[in-house]
Structure formats: structure tokens, C-alpha cells
């Protein structure tokens, strides 16, 4: 059901409070013409209620020549902030940025975070923000899983559909998303509830089967047939199946860049309020579909860039692919079982 403007402001006040915004801080609202004006206004009003010094930074849209579609995750690299030092300086002056246009996968965002500025991305529809309003329990759950993932040396993923995929871990950091930015230099995304890391270079090998009902992002489609990916030394070497495999092959080949086939981040969903079915109730232009990335017990893997954690793959094509019904094992410990049930950390009922 629709969220009222008053409720949306109250929700933002809750999330900014979790993000430790105080009257001594400055909050920048980053927007463009395509930002949701209700989200922009609610962020302004909530920050003012908390006594913070609020200001806006508006940037023009950018449509790179190879970009396809309107999804903000479909093209990585250049953003409206690229080369705009004055705007970057204005954003670095803030204690917290509420990003309503999306700077993800940009070097400028990483530079801003290194100054200690916190960034909170909020681009989903208000109704999704309301259903997955973050809590301290969300943080507890994700941080508990982080303790296991960041010390693991190996991940294995299997499924009844035929997946059997392994990789070494440890060369790259673990990243958590729980919905609020409460530490200096932290980036987070409301709504969220998952974690991930990156395989050591050339260590990812095996087979991943994208089964019927699994999700392809940014296509925002549920698979109607199986797609089999063969991975060797960190890169997808073969994509087989029917029409949907052909579609995926042609889409990735369009970028004419061998690095689009690299395995990027790997992790699992930990948000019980996120729903696998939610994507089917929204238009494809409604946000980024964070339900698909965060629903409890999914195995989320991605392809393409890894520059945000110090890697060398700077490529515009980025796929996020959540799989259901997988078993995920870290070293000798099972963290998700085949039915998509999270074994560790235990997920309380909500």
C-alpha cells in the first residue's frame, strides 16, 4: 500500500538516527532530475528534524554511449561526478551524504569515503523502504555472519540443480550491508541485509547453474529455463542453455571486453523481510530491486568490476545473480543449506 509523506519522513528520521546523525553534523542530499522527489524531500525534512545542517548537491544525468536501459546498476564506471572536482569537494564537506541518484562503482565515491564522510544510498520505492526499514537486529545478524566470512579461506557452493563452484578467499575484504551508515567512511544502502567478498584472483572454478526462478539483474527477470555457467580460473568461459543463455551471452559480448566475464563479489542474503517474489510486483524502472539481492538464504554472485576493493577489473558490465536453493560452505562450516535456510547466524523470526 502507498506510504504517506509523513510516514516517509518518519522513516528517514529513524534511519538517519541509526546512522548517528546529530545536530553537530552536516548532511548533503545528492540528487539529479531522475531522483524520486518524495525521497529527496523526506531526507531533507528528516535531517532538519534532527537539527543537522542540510544542503543539496544536484548533478546532471549522464548516459554513457554503451549504456542500455534505465537500471542504475547496468553500467559501471563514469558518473555525473566524474571530473567534477567542485561538486566532489562539496560532498566531502558533509558528514553524511544521502545519495538519491547512485554513485556506486565510481572512483569518486571511494575518494569521498576515504575522507571519513558516510554515504547512504536510497533509491528504492518508498513502499520497499518501509517494508525493509533497517533495525539494529539487521546489523547484528549481518555482523555475525561477517565474522565467519572474513576469516574463511574457501567457499563452496552446490545445488540440486547442478552447481558446484569453489573459490579461495582472503585477498579481498568482506563488505556488509545492513541499511544504515553509522561509522566514519561507511557506505550502505537502505534497504539491505547481506554481505559479500571477492574470490582471490584466478581461484574461482566450477559450474554455476542459474535455475528456473533464479533472478538476472539488471534484466530484472525470473529465469524460465536453466542457464549453465562454466568458470575457470576466475572467468566465465562458457554460457549454455536455451534462449535465455543466448540472451545473456549476447548481452555480455556487446561490451567487447573480456573482463566482463570475471567473477566479482560473492555472498549471501540475510534479510527475512526481503522477498524473492517482490520483483514481480514492480515495474522494471522501480529502483534496483534490492529484495532480489537481500532475500534470506540466496547465494548472490556478480560479474565484472572489482575496482571498489582494490582490484584491477574496471569494466562497465555488472551482473548481479541471486540463486535460490544452494548450499554454501565456508571452509568446513555450512552457512546456508539447500532449501535456502540460513544456518549461521541463526535468523530470528520477525
Same domain, 199 and 327: yes
Residue 349 belongs to a domain: no
* pLDDT at res. 308: 77
Confidence of residue 346 (pLDDT cuts 50, 70, 90): low
Same domain, 104 and 179: no
Instruction: Tell me the per-residue pLDDT of 234-263, one tens digit each, with 9 for 90 and over.
Output: 999 999 999 999 999 999 999 999 999 999
Instruction: Tell me the per-residue pLDDT of 278-313, one tens digit each, with 9 for 90 and over.
Output: 999 998 888 899 999 999 999 999 999 887 777 888
CB contact set of 276 (below 8 Å; sequence gap of 6+): 213, 215, 291, 292, 295, 298, 324
Same domain, 178 and 248: yes
- Name the residue with higher pLDDT: 7 or 314: 7
Same domain, 39 and 63: yes
Q: Is the pLDDT of residue 23 over 60?
A: yes
Instruction: Tell me the per-residue pLDDT of 154-195, one tens digit each, with 9 for 90 and over.
Output: 999 999 999 999 999 999 999 999 999 999 999 999 999 999
**Cell 526481503 found at:** 274
Residue 347 belongs to a domain: no
Confidence of residue 344 (pLDDT cuts 50, 70, 90): confident
Same domain, 71 and 148: no
Range of the domain at 259: 134-342
Q: Is the pLDDT of residue 222 over 90?
A: yes
Q: Quick one: cell of 243?
A: 534462449
**Cell 555475525 found at:** 144
Ramachandran assignment for 255, one of left (phi > 0), alpha (psi -120 to 50 degrees), beta (any other): alpha
* pLDDT at res. 278: 95
Same domain, 151 and 84: no
Last residue of a domain, one of 123, 142, 159: 123
* pLDDT at res. 350: 45
Residue 129 belongs to a domain: no
The CATH number of whichever domain residue 60 belongs to comes to: 3.40.50.2300
Are 188 and 121 within 8 A, CB to CB?
A: yes
DSSP 3-state of 280: helix
Same domain, 162 and 241: yes
Are 318 and 76 within 8 A, CB to CB?
A: yes
Residue 234 belongs to a domain: yes
- Name the residue with higher pLDDT: 103 or 15: 15
This prediction has a pTM of 0.94
Same domain, 107 and 172: no
Q: How many domains does the chain have?
A: 2
Question: Averaged over 190-216, what is the pLDDT?
Answer: 97
Residue 247 belongs to a domain: yes
Same domain, 155 and 220: yes
Same domain, 159 and 272: yes
Strands (E), 102-226: 118-121, 154-159, 164-168, 175-177, 187-189, 194-197, 205-210, 215-216, 221-222
Same domain, 234 and 265: yes
Give strand pairing partners of 176. Answer: 195
Last residue of a domain, one of 67, 99, 123: 123
Same domain, 138 and 118: no
Q: Quick one: cell of 139?
A: 546489523
CA dihedral 338, 340, 345, 350 (to 10 degrees): -150
Question: Averaged over 52-75, what is the pLDDT?
Answer: 86
Amino acid at each position: 500500500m502507498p506510504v504517506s509523506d509523513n510516514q516517509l519522513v518518519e522513516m528517514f528520521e529513524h534511519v538517519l538516527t541509526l546512522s548517528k546523525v546529530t545536530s553537530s553534523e552536516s548532511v548533503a542530499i545528492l540528487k539529479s532530475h531522475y531522483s524520486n522527489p518524495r525521497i529527496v524531500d523526506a531526507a531533507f525534512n528528516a535531517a532538519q528534524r534532527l537539527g543537522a545542517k542540510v544542503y543539496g548537491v544536484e548533478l546532471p544525468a549522464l548516459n554513457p554511449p554503451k549504456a542500455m536501459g534505465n537500471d542504475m546498476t547496468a553500467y559501471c564506471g563514469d558518473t555525473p561526478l566524474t571530473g567534477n572536482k567542485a561538486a566532489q569537494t562539496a560532498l566531502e564537506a558533509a558528514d553524511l551524504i544521502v545519495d538519491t541518484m547512485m554513485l556506486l562503482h565510481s572512483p569518486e565515491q571511494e575518494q569521498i569515503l576515504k575522507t571519513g564522510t558516510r554515504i547512504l544510498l536510497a533509491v528504492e520505492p518508498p513502499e520497499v523502504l518501509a517494508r525493509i526499514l533497517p533495525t539494529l537486529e539487521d546489523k547484528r545478524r549481518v555482523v555475525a555472519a561477517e565474522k565467519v566470512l572474513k576469516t574463511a579461506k574457501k567457499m563452496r557452493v552446490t545445488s540440486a540443480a547442478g552447481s558446484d563452484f569453489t573459490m579461495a578467499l582472503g585477498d579481498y575484504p568482506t563488505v556488509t550491508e545492513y541499511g544504515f551508515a553509522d561509522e566514519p567512511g561507511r557506505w550502505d544502502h537502505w534497504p539491505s541485509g547481506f554481505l559479500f567478498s571477492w574470490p582471490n584472483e584466478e581461484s574461482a572454478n566450477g559450474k554455476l547453474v542459474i535455475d528456473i526462478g533464479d533472478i538476472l539483474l539488471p534484466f530484472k527477470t525470473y529465469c524460465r529455463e536453466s542457464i549453465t555457467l562454466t568458470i575457470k580460473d576466475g572467468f566465465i568461459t562458457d554460457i549454455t542453455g536455451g534462449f535465455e543463455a543466448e540472451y545473456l551471452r549476447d548481452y555480455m559480448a556487446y561490451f567487447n571486453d573480456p573482463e566482463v566475464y570475471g567473477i566479482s563479489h560473492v555472498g549471501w542474503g540475510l534479510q527475512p523481510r526481503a522477498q524473492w517474489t517482490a520483483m514481480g510486483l514492480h515495474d522494471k524502472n522501480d529502483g534496483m530491486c534490492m529484495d532480489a539481492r537481500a532475500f534470506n538464504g540466496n547465494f548472490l554472485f556478480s560479474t565484472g568490476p572489482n575496482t571498489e576493493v582494490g582490484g584491477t577489473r574496471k569494466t562497465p558490465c555488472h551482473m548481479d545473480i541471486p540463486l535460490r536453493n544452494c548450499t554454501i560452505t565456508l571452509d568446513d562450516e555450512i552457512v546456508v543449506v539447500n532449501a535456502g535456510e540460513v544456518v549461521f547466524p541463526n535468523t530470528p523470526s520477525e
